[in-house]
Structure 1
Amino acid sequence: MQSINVQSPQSQKNKATPPKQSNCQLKFDYSPSADGIDYNLLILFHGLGDSKGPFAQLGKKLNLPQTASLAIQAPEPVPYMDGCYQWHPSFDFLTGDLLTPENPARLKGLLRTRKLVTELLEHLINDCGFETPRIFLFGFSQGGTVALDAALFGNIRNLGGVISISGYLLEEQRTDKKIDNGYGGYILVTQGEKDEVIGNRVKAEKKFQEIQRLCSPDALSTQVFISNKDHTMANSPAEWRIIHTFFAERMPRRNLQLENMSDVYLVNP
């Protein structure tokens, strides 16, 4: 017979234990939820050549209810550019040109980053008290690639959701290889119709299909094209409305009014 645990909703912990920088190699800025209830966690990944600071401010500005935020800084500095970071090697040291998919350094660097992200996620789950389905990832461009990689290829299989702004998987990643327990959460990818970095709509749709191949049948994935936008961070009311709708529909929330009723109890197996 299965045992059950009955408890008062008031006994639920509102504040998560803040993550410790000493437990992780990746640098980050953490902000608890403004309303005092750290039920969800939003992890933000900046784009190529940026740093964690602006995305830490974005996490605060979003002010999502019952949601703490954590902005991560990419592990590698961009050569010859102070204060700029990359998630994997991106430039040729000699010419300064962007590396192509044929260069093995890109994927090797991404695999190194995946291990570091996994280390941080395990700390957040095991030591800080965040539950995996309530952890959501948000990334721009190369940061979107890392967010998708963590959810689709990482060891932690049931993250809550991913938003990627103008970011897809690396071209050299194997999406035809069968992965047990494909990702079953929520994915939103937005990109500009004038994004010359990603390519035209046909190319973008093919990249999105690569993502869908790594999802389980239960996953809900959406790709949205934004008119009159190039390869930039979300910057229009229309795009932010799509993003906020994703958060509102996909992020769970505690019903505080119900919890405060004295005759209501939580029953957990």
Structure 2
Amino acid sequence: MHGWGANAEDVASLLPLLNLPDYQFILPNAPYPYPYSPIGRAWYDLRVENMYEGLVESRKLLIDFLQSLESTTGIPLSRTILSGFSQGGAMTLDVGSKLPLAGLVVMSGYLHPDALTAGQRDIPPTLISHGKYDEVVPLQAALKARDTLKSLGVAAEYHEFDMGHEINPQTLKVLRDFVVNTIS
């Protein structure tokens, strides 16, 4: 899932670099328009005056969408990995922790307030990757997500890279390895 202000086409451009020809990818666009560009999309508002407006609705839409996938693709959630970058990574942690997915991939993401609760169980194995020099989502957000998942007993794989708020070839290699190892 794309980040705030991007769209599914942005993510689609990365797919050839993953070298996963036998896997199916579904790239949803977020439901809300991005306020600063006619082609960008948003899962919820990040402007201070409207912080998190639309999150509840996006969460419900995304859960319903994911639960409908098996009937449209024939692939059960137990063989599905949910992945997202930045705001899409936050949605991945939030929604993915509530569904019986095979795994979660969070790139430059963060936890929503109260996304994970003490005692929550059955959270899928999770890959977290983040740039050490991320100027948009601070590295501390990734460390908090990692530590929270580990405190809940989640198998959380964590990687930091010498980069900013981006997806680089190293990130894609780690993502590819996680997908192949998780769905084998």
TM-score range normalised by the length of the shorter chain: 0.7 to 0.9
TM-fit CA distance, 1:49: 0.4
- Please give the alpha-carbon distance, in whole angstroms, between the structure 2 residues aligned to 1:182 and 1:241: 26
Residues 49 and 80 from structure 1, CA distance in 2 versus in 1: closer, same or farther, beyond 3 angstroms? Answer: closer
Letter in 1 for 2:137: I
- 1:231 equivalent to 2:165? Answer yes
Moved over 6 A (4+): none
Residues 182 and 119 from structure 1, CA distance in 2 versus in 1: closer, same or farther, beyond 3 angstroms? Answer: same
* Residue in structure 1 matched with residue 145 of structure 2 by the alignment: 207
* Residue in structure 2 matched with residue 220 of structure 1 by the alignment: 155
- Please give the alpha-carbon distance, in whole angstroms, between the structure 1 residues aligned to 2:72 and 2:133: 43
Are the equivalent residues in 1 in contact too, given 2:89–2:107 (CA < 8 A)? yes
Q: Percent identity?
A: 27
Residues 111 and 67 from structure 1, CA distance in 2 versus in 1: closer, same or farther, beyond 3 angstroms? Answer: same
Are the equivalent residues in 2 in contact too, given 1:59–1:70 (CA < 8 A)? no
Higher share of residues assigned strand: 1
- 1:131 equivalent to 2:76? Answer yes
- 1:196 equivalent to 2:135? Answer yes
* Residue in structure 1 matched with residue 92 of structure 2 by the alignment: 147
Are the equivalent residues in 2 in contact too, given 1:169–1:211 (CA < 8 A)? no
* Residue in structure 2 matched with residue 112 of structure 1 by the alignment: 57
Residues 176 and 134 from structure 1, CA distance in 2 versus in 1: closer, same or farther, beyond 3 angstroms? Answer: closer
* Residue in structure 1 matched with residue 102 of structure 2 by the alignment: 160
Are the equivalent residues in 2 in contact too, given 1:46–1:73 (CA < 8 A)? yes
- Please give the alpha-carbon distance, in whole angstroms, between the structure 1 residues aligned to 2:173 and 2:16: 17
Letter in 1 for 2:173: R
Are the equivalent residues in 2 in contact too, given 1:60–1:69 (CA < 8 A)? no
Residues 174 and 51 from structure 1, CA distance in 2 versus in 1: closer, same or farther, beyond 3 angstroms? Answer: closer
Moved more, 53-62 or 82-91: 53-62
- Please give the alpha-carbon distance, in whole angstroms, between the structure 2 residues aligned to 1:121 and 1:194: 32
* Residue in structure 2 matched with residue 182 of structure 1 by the alignment: 122
- 1:46 equivalent to 2:6? Answer no
- Please give the alpha-carbon distance, in whole angstroms, between the structure 2 residues aligned to 1:69 and 1:186: 19
* Residue in structure 1 matched with residue 14 of structure 2 by the alignment: 58
Residues 112 and 204 from structure 1, CA distance in 2 versus in 1: closer, same or farther, beyond 3 angstroms? Answer: same
TM-fit CA distance, 1:175: 3.5
TM-fit CA distance, 1:80: 4.4
Are the equivalent residues in 2 in contact too, given 1:59–1:71 (CA < 8 A)? no
* Residue in structure 1 matched with residue 174 of structure 2 by the alignment: 242
TM-fit CA distance, 1:58: 2.7
Higher relative contact order (CA 8 A, sep 6+): 1
- Please give the alpha-carbon distance, in whole angstroms, between the structure 1 residues aligned to 2:145 and 2:155: 16
Letter in 2 for 1:140: F
Higher share of residues assigned helix: 2
Letter in 2 for 1:126: S
TM-fit CA distance, 1:61: 4.7
Are the equivalent residues in 2 in contact too, given 1:144–1:167 (CA < 8 A)? yes
